[in-house]
Structure 1
Amino acid sequence: MIRDNLPLIELVVQRMVSQVPSFMTKDDMTSAAMIGLTDAAKRFDSSKGVKFKTFAEYRMRGAILDEMRKLDWFSRTMREKQNQLTQTMLGLERRLGRSPNEEEMAQAMNITLDEYQSILSQVSHLGCVSLHETLDHSEEGRNFLDALEDIGGPTPTDIIEQEELTYLLAEILEELSEKERLVIALYYYEELTQKEIAEVISVSEGRVSQLHSQALLKLRVKLLNSDVMD
């Protein structure tokens, strides 16, 4: 399985290279991805109904992000900025009854639009969360990878909750701007890099990063408001 899927390493690294800090080299990423692929081969269970390629890609991404964490890239300052963005958008969303635009966010934070967009660029990498990071940020909590694994199959309640989440996400996507929706679609469904997306929608690569951050911020706030993350 490892030998047959070695080309996945280059694919994953190429997709993530624009998402990592400058001090993390492609060699660092490749080494981490190889560890992730090896780990995937050891842990893969075909009875779970998940393709090995899909499972391996998640493991490789998680390994790369874990390596970034070891390099102390997730700084407290960046986390504080992300929390400030989240709390500001939460307040505006509840007051306005809709997702605020960039100008409204900047005004609420008493900064210029350029400064707001700069913060979006700075925290864009925080949207990449390791699959091993717990949902409640505790040591014992359930992580994102646990949510992907089919342990004994879904219960009826699980199925209903998943359907509700699907409808909610569809509603959230409808509230995104046209460019935000396009960035999300091209990035997560077409699997284009940020550079490729920039060429498709005729904006700078930095602007793609900002639109991506804004879309993820709206998604997080909507989920918080709906109590889905409780």
Structure 2
Amino acid sequence: MNFTYYGHSCFSVEIKGTKLLFDPFITPNELANKVVNADTIEADYILVSHGHADHTADLVSIAKRTGAKVICSWEIYEWLGRQQITNVHPMNTGGKWNFGDFTVKVVVAHHSSGLPDGSYGGNPLGFIVSAEEGNFYYSGDTALTLDMQLIPTWAELNFAVLPIGSNFTMDVEDAVRCAAMIKCQQIIGVHYDTFGFIKIDHDQAKKAFADTSCVLHLPKIGETIEVK
């Protein structure tokens, strides 16, 4: 599967030519907007973990331009309706849906979720995406939680996308513990360096994972990597 990083927690995964975009936050991101143009990103589906602006800033514009189906919480579904976005599939924790080329299982994330206009964004979500090519887990913004021990009972993971910046989410140490819980050795780090609160030491982070026989991938913004 091809993974393309757009900065912060925004990325896309291509499955059988179908492009899944996650948590679009590009235009206000000073680390990303000089490298990536949100107006050129392609998407067939947009998966939204929660309502915070650093995960939804470009959601409406990309959804309108591409016509992509948005997968999100019920509350974000209602908010998108007020933005005249109607191609939306609402889900909630514990739910599962087959979208054809892939299946989404929604899992627990421990965080908060307010929308840009101050309205309630529903519970934050994590996603397990399963397809013929393989399976991956995107935790969304979350603390470490014992619920992560359930993940490998639902899917054998090829890779996982985890926040590592601390302050608002898991730090590197907790993400390493998460990798053990979910039984996954290929980890892609997100939600780091964008703001002063979440700066990390890249070499130390990679070593912390390597010490447990895991690989931490930190792709450059705009870079595409193949994850098997």
Higher strand share: 2
Instruction: Kindly name which structure, 1 or 2, has the bigger radius of gyration based on alpha carbons.
Output: 1
TM-score for both structures, normalised by structure 2: 0.29
Higher helix share: 1
